Amino acid sequence: MKLWIEKQRYLIDFTLASLARRKARNIGLLLVYTLLVFMLASVTLYTHALRQEAARVLVASPEVVVQRMVAGRHDLIPPGYMEKIGRIRGVQTRTARLWGYYYDAVTKANYTFMVPAEDAPAKGEIVVGPALERSRGLAANNGISFRSYSGKLHTFIVAAVLPQATELVSADLVLMSEESFRAFFDYPVGHYTDIALTVANPQEVKNVALKLSAALPDARPILRDEVLRTYAAIFDWREGIVLALFSAAILAFGILAWEKASGLSAEEKREIGILKAIGWETGDVIKMKFWEGMLISLTAFLVGFVAAYVHVFHFAASMFEPVLKGWAVLYPHFQLTPHIDGVQVATLFFFTVFPYAAAVLVPIWKAAITDPDSVMRG
């Protein structure tokens, strides 16, 4: 065992020296390889962080949201609907919620107007999200007017701006009192937008949803788990599509690696010839070449991965953001939480190192079977 390790150490030593002798050629390959790892790792790290972020945001959302459907469209909850739900075992709280969208022609963006369940602002006052603060240049105690859908102008005083930390969920949010909300949208009295239910036991959520649809056939229960699953599937799918597009790049890289490995210079051929003449076997030459590939692969993988980490978590993945994140006028600025996932590193390894290994296999073998006499004579 010790002998074996010693042998590999000497082989690595030799390989490093031989790599250093042909710097220009190997650095070119290393650069391309690193770039490939960098791109792929950026995509996977970024989507994973987004998935985590979505999951974190949804942790605090209610387990079930009930919407009422009329002719397949979302409709208002009429008075008396809450009572019809009645007491379902397992449901801790039932809250009727008021919220809606408002299109602001000035910023050409949609805002979400909402009445908070507790600590609602006083009548005529609003609390705005950070993105709104930026886009309309607002600060606390400023006044702002919105033209409602009925054509009337409503003026509000900004009581506060929501903290930056909540931006992912509150970027376009405008919080107001129930009275202001109903006046602004001409919302019929006693009607609500939807109902939020909290369920303590996660295994009961499905039963609650079943009972709801039995009691109220026109209700559509939306489960938090389903939303989470959909998010995960969407981000995975986006990541998969981008990776599939990159497969062309992987293929091109494979061809490059093949070319580089098979285009042995005369000097290299002579080197192998001499090694064989002084007693190396074909297997030894293959081992040496294997270590060469291994060193290049691991270096590229490590450097590429670290660069991708910096790119995603310090520069907000500026290169792939538009494809992976989605798009909106008032898009929240948010800081992603660094997170590395074992499966992703393993997947990345499959995408980069194995294609490289497969591509250089035949050229390595061709180099290793070179006859010493034919090379040294030529």
Partner 1 sequence: MLFQPAIIALLLASTLCVLALVGSAPFAVDVIRRWDIRSGSERQLQLERRTYLFSTLLTLVLVLQLAAVLLFVFNAEKMSGMFVGAMCAVGTLNVNAFGFPALNGKIAVFFLAAMWLAINHVDSRARDYPLVRIKYGLLLALAPLLAGSAWAELQYFLDLKADVITSCCGSLFSEGSPTIAAEASALPPIPAMWLFYGSLGAAVVLAAVHGLGGGRQRWSGYLLALASGVAFVATIAGILAFVSLYIYEHPHHHCPFCILKPEYNYQGYWLYVPLFGATAAGLAAGAVQPFARIASLREVIPEFSRRMAAIAANGFFLTAAIASFMIWQSRLILLE
Q: Residue 96 to residues 65, 100, 222, 239: CA-CA distances in angstroms?
A: 10, 13, 15, 37
**Alpha-carbon 39 to chain mean position:** 14
Quick one: 240 or 263, whose CB is closer to partner 1? Answer: 240
Q: Going by C-beta distance under 8 Å and a sequence separation of 6 or more, which residues neighbour residue 260?
A: 25, 28, 29
How near is the Cβ of 12 to partner 1 at its closest, in Å? Answer: 18
Stretches 83-91, 179-187, 224-232, 326-334: which one binds partner 1 (CB under 8 A)?
A: 224-232
* The binder of partner 1 chosen from 26, 44, 112, 135 (CB under 8 A): 44
- Residues of 137-174 as b/e, b for ≥16 C-beta within 10 angstroms? ebeeeeebebeeeeeeebebebbebbeeeebebbbbbb
What would the DSSP string read from start to end of 112-153?
EEEE-SSSPPPTTEEEE-HHHHHHHT--TT-EEEEE-TTS-E
Quick one: 26 or 344, whose CB is closer to partner 1? Answer: 344
Considering the rule CB under 8 A, would residue 241 count as an interface residue with partner 1?
A: yes
Stretches 8-16, 309-317, 318-326, 358-366: which one binds partner 1 (CB under 8 A)?
A: 358-366
How near is the Cβ of 99 to partner 1 at its closest, in Å? Answer: 28
How near is the Cβ of 237 to partner 1 at its closest, in Å? Answer: 5
Considering the rule CB under 8 A, would residue 167 count as an interface residue with partner 1?
A: no
Quick one: 144 or 368, whose CB is closer to partner 1? Answer: 368
Considering the rule CB under 8 A, would residue 355 count as an interface residue with partner 1?
A: yes
What is the Cα–Cα distance from 313 to 339, expressed in whole angstroms?
9
What is the Cα–Cα distance from 358 to 89, expressed in whole angstroms?
59
Nearest to 45 by CA among 342, 332, 353, 247: 342
Quick one: 290 or 331, whose CB is closer to partner 1? Answer: 290
Considering the rule CB under 8 A, would residue 53 count as an interface residue with partner 1?
A: no
Query: Within positions 68 to 97, which residues make up the interface with partner 1, using CB under 8 A?
Result: none
What would the DSSP string read from start to end of 313-336?
HHSTTTTTHHHHH---TTPPP-PP
Please give the angle made by the CA atoms of 188, 213 and 59, to the nearest 5 degrees: 80
Considering the rule CB under 8 A, would residue 360 count as an interface residue with partner 1?
A: no
Considering the rule CB under 8 A, would residue 239 count as an interface residue with partner 1?
A: yes
**For partner 1, how many residues bind (rule: CB under 8 A)?**
36
What is the Cα–Cα distance from 40 to 1, expressed in whole angstroms?
37
Quick one: 346 or 376, whose CB is closer to partner 1? Answer: 346
Stretches 76-84, 103-111, 186-194, 231-239: which one binds partner 1 (CB under 8 A)?
A: 231-239
Nearest to 253 by CA among 35, 20, 38, 24: 35
Stretches 117-125, 153-161, 188-196, 341-349: which one binds partner 1 (CB under 8 A)?
A: 341-349
Query: Within positions 103 to 142, which residues make up the interface with partner 1, using CB under 8 A?
Result: none
Quick one: 8 or 247, whose CB is closer to partner 1? Answer: 247
What is the Cα–Cα distance from 102 to 149, expressed in whole angstroms?
8
Assign 191 to helix, strand or coil: coil
The dihedral region occupied by 317, where left means phi > 0, alpha psi between -120 and 50, and beta the remainder, is: left
* The binder of partner 1 chosen from 71, 105, 153, 244 (CB under 8 A): 244
Considering the rule CB under 8 A, would residue 282 count as an interface residue with partner 1?
A: yes
Stretches 72-80, 166-174, 294-302, 354-362: which one binds partner 1 (CB under 8 A)?
A: 354-362
Binding footprint of partner 1 on the chain (CB under 8 A):
44, 228-229, 232-233, 236-237, 239-241, 243-244, 247, 282-283, 286, 290, 341-344, 346-347, 349-351, 354-355, 357-358, 361-362, 364-365, 368-369
